Structure 1
Amino acid sequence: MAAVDPSEELKSLETTMGSIEAVLDLDKIRADIASLEEEAAAPNLWDDLANAQKVTSRLSFLQGELRKVLHLRGRVGDLAVMFELAADENDADTLAEALTELTSVQKTVEELEVRTLLSGEYDAREALVNIRAEAGGVDAADFAEQLMRMYLRWAERHNYPTEVLDTSYAEEAGIKSATFSVKIPYAYGTLSVEQGTHRLVRISPFDNQGRRQTSFAGVEVLPVVEVSDHVEIDETELRIDVYRASGPGGQGVNTTDSAVRITHLPTGVVVSCQNERSQIQNKASAMNVLQAKLLERRRQEERALMDSLKGEGSSWGNQMRSYVLAPYQMVKDLRTEYEVGNPQAVLDGDIDGFIEAGIRWRKQRETAAE
């Protein structure tokens, strides 16, 4: 059996794990868990439903994060033992197993390292995702629905809870727009690199001549607002309309005017929600989305001011990813150059590679700008 020296790879893994543990601050995570466990054990916890859900969700997330890091640390430690055993016994099977585990651990460590790059002001927040059909007619509406499914499938793969707040269906197929939330810490920091215009090239299933069609859909990602964000909204500057919610094919149609549309008159921002049966609940959800949109608007204005002071344009291009289904198969991120040759897997939610590349690309640009 040929000698294999994995010492450099193991040393690199140890160094990276040390950096990850330092950034995540495991002692603080343990302290936060202890504090949250104390809150969760309070007999009156569920008197305030919203707070109880926030406490238990945060506790579950931190416990999962700690388990993930400790388990990975154990795997890194076991690797050295596996390679030593393979060398001592001159065992090719054990060596092959150790090399396979090394590759797997390296990939998992890289994925966890990406998490440590999320250090923006709002990165730790949950996310609101808005998808809208743009140029391309019915193909664009169909593409927007495919993107919505892609993100929901991605969340499902990771066991991230989601809630669809509003869906506006197109007449022939697909959707005009949709808004949903991803209810996990760091969802905003993770998904914010998905913001921009997505482009689809394919043979249109809606063209009876079978011609190739290019269509576009926009993705907007917002951080969920918290009480401390202080986005002032004057009730007199709102127009609130109620209407009957509807779904495709006549399904999901309410018999009362429970859906709510809110227009913020000074800015023209419009949000709507028809997910709940109660008009009061829909109004509360719509107000949350409006708060997030106004907060993002304020952040964009502040960023534009800083860019103008620095004499620079926006660091984000508008069109950010192409999905090509014909004449060849490819999905390519136009910012990071990351690409794969299996569009169906991507549209089924396999987008971690694109997200990780986007986060690393953004961090490099931020570092270069400092």
Structure 2
Amino acid sequence: MAEIDFPAELAELRDTLRRITDVIDVDALAAEVSDLEQEAADPNLWDNQENAQKVNSQLSHKQAQLNRVRSLDARIEDAEVMAEMAAEENDAETAAEAANELVSIRKALASLEIVTLMSGEYDEYDAVVTIRSGAGGVDAADFAEMLLRMYTRWAERRDWNVKILDTSYAEEAGIKSATFEVQAPYAYGTLSVEAGTHRLVRISPFDNQGRRQTGFAAVEVIPLLEGTESIDIDENDLKIDVFRSSGPGGQSVNTTDSAVRITHLPSGIVVSMQNEKSQIQNRAAALRVLESRLLLLKKEEEKAQENEMKGDVKASWGDQMRSYVLHPFQMVKDLRTGHEVGNAQAVFDGDLDGFVEAGIRWRAQGSSSN
């Protein structure tokens, strides 16, 4: 094992942490946590359940971010003490322990640094994600459901709140589409790098000849802009259909016509919601997502960047941004960043951090070069 220059390593880690805290503005973050703690302590907070959930979610995530910064500072101090003890006592075991801790701290700093790379106009907002099956028939529908599971597991690992808004099941297996909301600070900035076409290659479990098949799915990510700006939606521009929500195989999930589909006639945007318990709740959720889509469209038109956030996603050959290969070998590779892993199952189980962080760094580098 090569000898480590502990003073130089510690100085570099401190410098990295200082740069990160300057961008995050720890004093401002601590003030936000204090304000949210006061809101959370208000005995009338739960009079508005939705607002209460948002306040508690924001408090939880901002506290976690503040604790990460403070704990890293403490860990660097402890590592320095450990290194000094090792040098004084010429203790190789303690020196090795200190070296391992430096590696761990460096990884934690790299993860925290990702937040500083998200400075887009909407990056701090919650996200609404839609997954649609593309070319590839039943394999594509099954792949879309695999991606839904992948993203929900990834979010759960982060203790991010995921709310399924709508699911349209395919006839044989899988889903035609699914829309879900992710509630967490920087959810949009984090997940927006996942937007694009995803491609699966495998031996199809639906092919009785055991042939290799390719399926595509499109992922769309938009920020949830409700309450940040206002936009007038003319009721006359809306076509509202109600229907009975259903599950796999056409089985009824609800015995009343509680599902809602809203079509905005001028733009052609269609939003469906069926996972709330009542028609009123589904209508409100659909209008909220529709408003976000229209606000985003308005911004895109003003800046002449219609495809920058949502993307022109075709979900077919020549358009993919990531490949998931299960045969003849296992590999998941992002075609934009070059990041790849050999354990595809781990990725489908929610181990996405490497891809997300590589995507955020890739995007930041592209922005800085423009």
| TM-score of the two chains, using structure 1 as the length reference | 0.93
Paired residues for 1:246-325 under 5 Å: 246-249=246-249, 253-305=253-305, 318-325=319-326
Partner SS for 2:121: coil
**1:208: Cα distance to partner?**
1.2
Q: Does 1:368 align with 2:369?
A: yes
Deviates more, 1:181-190 or 1:291-300: 291-300
Q: Distance in 2 between matches of 1:307 and 1:156?
A: 29
Contact 2:260 2:282 in 1 (8 A): yes
Q: Distance in 2 between matches of 1:276 and 1:2?
A: 59
Partner SS for 2:15: helix
Contact 2:225 2:292 in 1 (8 A): yes
Q: Distance in 1 between matches of 2:252 and 2:363?
A: 41
Change (3 A) 1:2 1:40: closer
**1:3: Cα distance to partner?**
4.3
Q: Distance in 1 between matches of 2:32 and 2:111?
A: 23
Q: Distance in 2 between matches of 1:57 and 1:205?
A: 40
| CA-to-aligned-CA distance 1:278-329 (integer Å, 9 cap, x gap) | 1000000111111222233234434545999xxxxx8999421011111121
Correspondence for 2:140: 140
Q: Distance in 2 between matches of 1:156 and 1:42?
A: 28
Contact 2:226 2:292 in 1 (8 A): no
Q: Distance in 1 between matches of 2:35 and 2:305?
A: 40
Change (3 A) 1:41 1:155: same
| TM-score of the two chains, using structure 2 as the length reference | 0.93
Correspondence for 1:193: 193
Correspondence for 2:112: 112
Change (3 A) 1:274 1:361: same
Q: Does 1:81 align with 2:81?
A: yes
Contact 2:4 2:99 in 1 (8 A): no
The residue type equivalent to 1:355 in the other structure is V
Paired residues for 1:58-73 under 5 Å: 58-73=58-73
Change (3 A) 1:360 1:257: same
Partner SS for 2:228: helix
Change (3 A) 1:139 1:36: same
**1:2: Cα distance to partner?**
7.0
Identical positions, percent = 62
Paired residues for 1:200-219 under 5 Å: 200-219=200-219
Deviates more, 1:354-363 or 1:83-92: 83-92
**1:233: Cα distance to partner?**
1.5
Q: Distance in 2 between matches of 1:6 and 1:300?
A: 50
**1:252: Cα distance to partner?**
5.7
Q: Distance in 2 between matches of 1:203 and 1:234?
A: 49
**1:60: Cα distance to partner?**
2.1
**1:7: Cα distance to partner?**
2.9
Correspondence for 1:311: none
**1:221: Cα distance to partner?**
0.6
Q: Distance in 1 between matches of 2:350 and 2:300?
A: 29
**1:10: Cα distance to partner?**
1.7
Correspondence for 2:341: 340
Q: Distance in 2 between matches of 1:156 and 1:306?
A: 31
The residue type equivalent to 2:367 in the other structure is E
Change (3 A) 1:23 1:200: same
Q: Distance in 1 between matches of 2:43 and 2:34?
A: 17
Deviates more, 1:249-258 or 1:348-357: 249-258
| CA-to-aligned-CA distance 1:119-174 (integer Å, 9 cap, x gap) | 11110001111000000000000000000000001011111111101100000110
Correspondence for 2:356: 355
Q: Distance in 2 between matches of 1:315 and 1:4?
A: 50
Correspondence for 1:93: 93
The residue type equivalent to 1:325 in the other structure is L
Contact 2:259 2:273 in 1 (8 A): yes
Q: Distance in 2 between matches of 1:241 and 1:235?
A: 13
Q: Distance in 2 between matches of 1:345 and 1:127?
A: 24
Q: Distance in 1 between matches of 2:344 and 2:2?
A: 40
**1:45: Cα distance to partner?**
2.3
**1:277: Cα distance to partner?**
1.5
Change (3 A) 1:203 1:234: same
Deviates more, 1:207-216 or 1:228-237: 228-237
Deviates more, 1:222-231 or 1:204-213: 222-231
Correspondence for 1:26: 26
The residue type equivalent to 1:98 in the other structure is A
Task: Give unmatched runs, 5+ long, in structure 1.
Answer: 309-313
Q: Distance in 1 between matches of 2:252 and 2:331?
A: 36
Correspondence for 1:57: 57
Partner SS for 1:281: helix
Partner SS for 1:236: helix
Aligned-residue RMSD, C-alpha: 2.1
Q: Which runs of 4+ in 1 moved over 6 A?
A: 314-317
Q: Distance in 2 between matches of 1:287 and 1:193?
A: 25
Q: Distance in 1 between matches of 2:252 and 2:276?
A: 11
The residue type equivalent to 1:332 in the other structure is K
| CA-to-aligned-CA distance 1:251-273 (integer Å, 9 cap, x gap) | 56211000001111111111111
The residue type equivalent to 1:84 in the other structure is E
Deviates more, 1:287-296 or 1:196-205: 287-296
Deviates more, 1:35-44 or 1:329-338: 35-44
**1:250: Cα distance to partner?**
5.8
